[in-house]
Amino acid sequence: MSKKEMIEPADDNPPWGDAEFARARPAESVLPELFGEEKAEQMLKRRGRPKSEHAKIALKLRIDPDVVEAYRSQGAGWQTRINDALRDYAKSHGML
């Protein structure tokens, strides 16, 4: 295949214009018509980890190196242990 053939669009897949975009419909409405409800539901099912009701907030926090090293030295899950320590402090001081 020459470079020119790779750059030019294929005849069976021309670029879309305003008319094609105006006619377009979301996959949720088209797939059940094409494949049936059950198959469409499988195709549209979200993949990956489900969204948490209590998603954590990513933030930048400056902590002294000796404190970070103490938690890291305990192995995997050190961020969770810091979170638990902060939660215990907040509860014991009436913040939660």
DSSP string across 38-84: HHHHHHHSPPSSPPPTT----------HHHHHHHHTT-TTHHHHHHH
Do residues 72 and 90 share a domain? Answer: yes
Is residue 2 in a domain?
Answer: no
Domain span including residue 55: 51-96
Q: How many distinct structural domains can be found in the chain? A: 2
Is residue 91 in a domain?
Answer: yes
Task: Quote the mean pLDDT of the chain.
Answer: 89
pLDDT at position 52 is: 87
Do residues 32 and 59 share a domain? Answer: no
Is residue 93 in a domain?
Answer: yes
Do residues 57 and 85 share a domain? Answer: yes
pLDDT at position 59 is: 93
- Assign 5 to helix, strand or coil: helix
Residue 8 has pLDDT above 70, yes or no: no
Using an 8 Å Cβ cutoff, are 34 and 41 in contact?
no
Do residues 37 and 59 share a domain? Answer: no
Is residue 4 in a domain?
Answer: no
